[in-house]
Structure 1
Amino acid sequence: MMKSMACGYLNELNEEQKNAVTHTGSPLLILAGAGSGKTKTLTYRAMYMVETGVVKPESLLLVTFTNKAASEMRERVSKASKMDLPNVGTFHSTAARILRKKACEVGLVRDFVIYDTQDTQDLIKEIMGELNMDVKRFRPGAILSNISSAKQEMITPNEYQALARGVFQEVVANVYTRYQQLLLKYGAVDFDDLLFYVARLFREHPEILRQYQAMFEHIYVDEYQDTNTVQYQLTKLLNGER
């Protein structure tokens, strides 16, 4: 029964896609141009691995970049096989689920608030006012963008302070330090913090990392070539030596 179900959607694929879907025994990287069916192939691979008994649904993590892409993956799975894959989501939603359970281990409150773009911009302006900085000379949006880039590269406020060169970077360094202090004070995180804190969690608590490595036996990342440093590190940490 499982084999016939798998063959149904395998017939939609070309030979290279079939090889990617059915490959086992080692890590797999799919390289293809835009619009060539990479996401469909990845989704069908997840379905095939579950239906052929290679991995249990709850032990498979399927990660993408946008909520729209995650929804499309779930819809494709539902239409083709009626199965439920519980761990399909974006990098940020996956990290948020982990962080809700392990917030205390990285110094956060469990019911932390996730600030959106407007919240973070308002906080930057508050800090600039507190530090008597000219918002016309130093644009809050530019400062926030630099802080975001630093977090994506896993650079802490102290590390940024040490690396800062020139007036603007020194301004960013001062704002970044205060920004993180106030986020903690307000029981809040921004979107970049979700990934930043989970990477820190895994590095500082290897026993927790091992728990999630055991939980996610197969990890599939859509548009893997677009991962930034922290996304790559999270994927690498979860994958371990496999």
Structure 2
Amino acid sequence: MDLGALNPEQLEAVLHKDGPLLVFAGAGSGKTRVITYRVANLIYTHEVPPSQILAVTFTNKAADEMKERLRYLLGMDIRGLWVGTFHAICARILRESGRAIDIPPNFLVYDESDQLDLIRQVLSELNLDEKQFNPRPIRNAISRAKERLIMPEQYAAQASDYFERIVASVYPRYQSALQAANALDFDDLLLATIRLFTEQPRVLERYQQQFRYILVDEYQDVNYAQYVLVRMLAGAHGNLCVVGDDDQSIYRFRGAEPELILRFKHDFPDAKVVTLERNYRSTQPILDAAFRIISQNRVRAPKRLWTDRTEGAPVTLTPVSDEEEEARLIAEYIQRQVYLGRRRYGDFAILYRTNAQSRAFEERFLRER
């Protein structure tokens, strides 16, 4: 396996073998390469059996890509390696060992649509009109509670306003309905796994001994339940590697707690910290503009991205009066660049914060077609 493609910081993270490791990986700094090479190095150089490695990714797509890269790097079968999202890993553990807490292996996993249908059913049983009590905010409130490991009784005791009291009346009935359907929702997958490990220490010990090396990607976006689960699994060997960037945390609205990556050194005082600051994606003017914005965050890990690509067009900021003017100016700029032969239409990308903001652009582009 050739490690020559890695820069010094990437290599430092890949070669670190035992003990906790925190990798701050700035945007475009080769994070995926580091994780993949680290797993490959454990298997190839240190002859760690793939079955003793657990790699947690943020999406199923990322898990599939990691497996493919590892097969390419190692040129061998990596059967036995555990790679997946928190939900996928927990579902697998529960299907293997959930009977210890009366969860049969053939349980169903309810998606968001199933969950909303179940909440509508509970609202009907409580004689609450779903037009007045929207199921989605109720479902979201229950999800946030589960992410904090707050059970129905505790939630009811803490309910402080009218909405929370409504949620408190729905939450226990929703859980009972899930159980009656032999189903778990996505949050229950983590909640039940933590309960399994808490109530059945021997089961926890089995998985602790199995997973000698644990890697967690996108650690800046873990929630409290995921944090607790990782701490439990890493409790025996302590070979936990987390990779992330507090500057890129965007899922607080979904329960993510970026503070957890910042307290990793507190949780593991002997942790090695590696910071990947070399960017392979952007030019320096873009990185400088991004830094001037993100550096305003009051609490963040110190880092500043740099690149060999020092030259590049400056970032421009154009104030506009409304979304129609914005769409008009962008359409005119694109047309002018294409007309002058400097760019093709396929060279342009328009990013917007919410889907609703695309309408003004769509209408303008249709008129200019």
Please report the TM-score for the alignment, with normalisation by the length of structure 1.
0.94
- Identity score, percent: 48
Deviation at 1:54, TM superposition (A): 5.0
Whole-angstrom CA distance in 2 between matches of 1:187 and 1:137:
29
1:226 and 2:221 matched: yes
Corresponding residue for 2:176? Answer: 181
Instruction: Provide the secondary structure at the position in 2 that maps to 1:108.
Output: coil
Deviation at 1:225, TM superposition (A): 1.8
Question: Residue type of the partner of 1:81?
Answer: L
Whole-angstrom CA distance in 2 between matches of 1:149 and 1:175:
14
Corresponding residue for 1:214? Answer: 209
Corresponding residue for 2:75? Answer: 82
Corresponding residue for 1:237? Answer: 232
1:12 and 2:5 matched: yes
Count of equivalent residues: 235
1:148 and 2:181 matched: no
Runs of 4+ in 1 over 6 A off after TM superposition: none
**Alignment match of 2:117 (pick from 117, 122, 144):** 122
- Say which structure is richer in helix: 1
Corresponding residue for 1:71? Answer: 64
Deviation at 1:42, TM superposition (A): 1.1
Deviation at 1:13, TM superposition (A): 1.1
Whole-angstrom CA distance in 2 between matches of 1:53 and 1:140:
51
Deviation at 1:109, TM superposition (A): 2.5
Whole-angstrom CA distance in 2 between matches of 1:28 and 1:54:
20
> Which 10-residue stretch deviates more, 33-42 or 77-86?
77-86
Whole-angstrom CA distance in 1 between matches of 2:32 and 2:156:
40
**Alignment match of 1:44 (pick from 8, 19, 37):** 37
Q: RMSD over aligned Cα, in angstroms?
A: 1.2
Whole-angstrom CA distance in 2 between matches of 1:121 and 1:27:
40
Question: Residue type of the partner of 2:143?
Answer: S
Deviation at 1:27, TM superposition (A): 0.9
> Which 10-residue stretch deviates more, 75-84 or 10-19?
75-84
Please report the TM-score for the alignment, with normalisation by the length of structure 2.
0.62
Unaligned regions of 5+ residues in structure 2, if any? Answer: 239-369
Deviations 1:85-117 (A, max 9, x none): 521111111100100122222232221111111
**Alignment match of 1:60 (pick from 53, 63, 80):** 53
1:163 and 2:151 matched: no
Q: Point out the structure with max Rg over C-alpha.
A: 2
Question: Residue type of the partner of 1:93?
Answer: A
Corresponding residue for 2:17? Answer: 24
Whole-angstrom CA distance in 2 between matches of 1:89 and 1:162:
36
Whole-angstrom CA distance in 1 between matches of 2:105 and 2:83:
23
Deviation at 1:26, TM superposition (A): 1.7
Unaligned regions of 5+ residues in structure 1, if any? Answer: none
**Alignment match of 1:35 (pick from 28, 42, 58):** 28
Whole-angstrom CA distance in 2 between matches of 1:70 and 1:228:
19
